[in-house]
Amino acid sequence: MNPLFSPRAVPAWFLVLPDTDAAAPFARAALPHTTRRLRHPSGRPWLVGRWAPSTATSGGHGSARIAVIGDHAVSPEEADRAADAARSPAALDRRAAAWPGNFHLVSTVDGEVRVRCGAIGVRRVHHTRTGAGGDAVTLASDRADVLADLTGAALDERHLAVELLTHDMVHPLSGQPVWRGVRMLPAGHSLTVSRDGAARETRWWSPPKAEVPLRVGAVALRDALAAAVQVRTQGRDLVTADLGGLDSTAVYCTAVRSGAPVVAYTVAQHDALGDDVHWARRTVAALDTAEGIGPLEHHVVPADAVPMTYDGLDTLDDVLDGPSPITVDRNRRMRLLELAAARGSHLHLSGLGGDELLAGTPARLHGLLTVRPAATLHHLRGYTAKYRWPRRRVLRALCDRRDYGSWLRRVADHLADPPSPVDEPLLDWATFPRMPPWATPDAVAAVRDLLRAQSGSAEPLARDHGEHRELAAMDSLSRTTRYIDQISATHGVTFAAPYYDDQVVEAALAVTPQERITPWQYKPLIVAAMRGTVPEAVRSRATKANATFEEEAGLREHRAGLLALCEQSHLARLGLIDARVLRAWCARPLSAELETDPLHRTVACEVWLRSRQTTPVSADP
C-alpha cells in the first residue's frame, strides 16, 4: 500500500484507545495527525482524531465519560446525565434510544471502553487486535484505513476478491475491511474493550416485531422522519436537498414544513420518460402557495451539466477506506454536492435508503406463508404477474426451507456460473452473487474458501428471508452513503440520509409487512405518513426514474478511460483478474440493466487501489 498515506490525509476520523499503557505507542503514532483529543479519567488518551466540534458532545460523571459523534442534538448537560448511566450499557442504550439522529456512542467507565455503531451501517466501527502477549491491545476506529496505517496491516487480497462479487449482500463477508487483521463490527453491535485490551462484541439492537398497523406506523414514521430532519437542520442558516423521487420529496417537504431554509436541486435527465423535474416543480409550486412557507428556491440542473457515468475514472483520488461502486457515478453524484457547497451549504439532505426501507422485498412472503396464507397468496399472484415469475420457480422457492449456512454453501458452489435469470423469484435469502468473467481461478477459489468457512457458523441478520434481505440491502447501500459522505467531507458538506436513522428504521420495520410491502401500491407507508406534509398532487406519485441512459451513454463516451484501467491493472498484478478478459468486456456494447453490475465493482476496486498510491499526505481539518 501507499507508504506515504497517513491519517492526516483523512478529513474526519476517530480512534478509540483502551485505558492501558500498552496503547501508548499507538497514541504517540496517532496524536501528531489529530486535531481533537479526549482523555480517560486516568489521564491516558481515550478518543483522538479529527472531527468538527459541532459533531461531537462529551460528558462525564465520576469515573465515567461518554462521547456522541455524528448527527445529533445531545447537549453537554444531557451527556453528563448519560455518563451517569454509562455504568450499565443497557441503561445507556435505553437513554440513547430517545436521541434522534445518527451517531457513534463511545464510553469509558472504570477502565472499560465501549464503542457502539448504529443499527444500520452508516456509522461503522472497525477494530483490530495488535501486539503480543501482555502488550496486545484492541484499537477501534470509524475508519478501517486509519487502523491499517497505525498498525501496519497488509492488504488482504482474499477480502479484496470478495469485493468483485456482483451483489454486495453476502453477509457476513460483504463490506469487511480489505486489510489483514482489521474487522468490521456488525451493525447493531457494540465493542467492549477491557483494561487488559481484550475485546468482545455484543448485539445491542434487533429489528422490532412487525406487528404495527399501517395507519399507526405511518404516524410514527412521520414523527421519526421529522425528528431526523430537524436534528440536522436546526440552527442552520442554509441547507440543500435533493428533490427527485418520492423518498427525497418526503425529506425535502418535511424540512420545508419545519421552517428550515432549504434550497432544492433536481437533476434533469436525458431520457424523455424521466419525470423527476415535472414532479419537483409541482411540489415546489404547491408548497410556495402554502401559508407561511414561500418563496422557495429550487434549481433544475440541466442534464448536459451533469457528468455521465464513468466520468473521470483516471483522475479520482478520493480517500475512501474501501472500494465502493459509487466510483463509477462519483462525478455525477458529486455535481450536486459541489453546487451545494458553492451555494454555501454545509448540509445536504438525501432520500437514499428509502427504497430498501419503504419498498421492502417480496421475500417477506416466504416467512408469511405459514402465518397469513391467504394474504400471502394474494400478494404472490400480484408479484408473479408484475415480474413475470415462472409459477414453478415460485412454488419451489416457497418450499425451500434450507438455513442460511446452506445458502452460503450454494453460493460457494456456483460462483463461476452464469448470472441468475432475470425472472428468478425474489424469495431467497438474497440474489445469488457471481464472480465476474474476468476473475482468475485463484480469486474464485479465495472467495469460495471464505464462504465455506463462514457457512458453518454464520447466522442471518434476521428471522426470515425477507427481513434478512431488507437488512442486507440497507447494510449494502448504507456503505455507499458512508462513502459519499467521506467524499463530500472534502467539500465541507455533510451528506445526510435520514432514512438510516435508528428511530426511522424502527418505525418503518415495525409495520406489518403485508401492509408495508405490496404489489398493488407503490410505497404505501410513506404515502400514508406524508399526508399533510407532501402536497396531495404529488403524494401518490407511483413512478421512479432511473439513469439507464446516462449509464449506456457514459460507457460509450468514457470507454477509453475504462480500457486504460485495464492497462497495468493493479488487480491483475495481484492475480485477481485477467485484464485481457476485462478489456474485451469493456470494448463491446453492454446492457446497462444486465451487464454492468460486475463492471462497477471491478472498476471500484481498481480505482481504489490506484488512489491508495496517489493519496495526498495532508488534508484540511
Q: Does domain 214-357+478-509+523-541 have CATH number 3.40.50.620?
A: yes
Determine the pLDDT at residue 5: 52
Is there a contact between 499 and 351 (Cβ–Cβ < 8 Å)? yes
Question: Does the pLDDT at position 133 exceed 90?
Answer: no
Is there a contact between 283 and 538 (Cβ–Cβ < 8 Å)? yes
CA 504, CA 525: separation in Å to the nearest integer?
A: 12
CA 381, CA 391: separation in Å to the nearest integer?
A: 9
| Residue 395 burial (CB count, 10 A) | 12
> What average pLDDT score do residues 63-84 get?
97
Q: Where are the domains of the chain?
A: 7-203, 214-357+478-509+523-541, 359-469, 550-611
Determine the pLDDT at residue 1: 38
Q: Indicate the SS3 state at residue 503.
A: helix
> What average pLDDT score do residues 425-434 get?
95
CA 223, CA 530: separation in Å to the nearest integer?
A: 10
> What average pLDDT score do residues 54-76 get?
96
* Least trusted range by pLDDT, from 194-203, 283-292, 478-487, 587-596: 587-596
CA 37, CA 19: separation in Å to the nearest integer?
A: 14
Question: Does the pLDDT at position 614 exceed 70?
Answer: no
Using 50, 70 and 90 to split pLDDT, how confident is the model at 480? Answer: very high
Question: Does the pLDDT at position 23 exceed 50?
Answer: yes
Using 50, 70 and 90 to split pLDDT, how confident is the model at 621? Answer: very low
Q: Indicate the average pLDDT of the chain.
A: 93
> What average pLDDT score do residues 276-304 get?
92
> What average pLDDT score do residues 174-196 get?
94
* Least trusted range by pLDDT, from 111-115, 357-361, 463-467, 616-620: 616-620
Question: Does the pLDDT at position 342 exceed 50?
Answer: yes
CA 185, CA 203: separation in Å to the nearest integer?
A: 10
Using 50, 70 and 90 to split pLDDT, how confident is the model at 549? Answer: confident
Domains 7-203 and 214-357+478-509+523-541 share a fold: no
Alpha helices (runs of H) in 7-101, residue ranges in sequence order: 24-30, 76-85, 89-96
pTM for the model: 0.95
Q: Indicate the SS3 state at residue 261.
A: coil
CATH tag, 7-203: 3.60.20.10
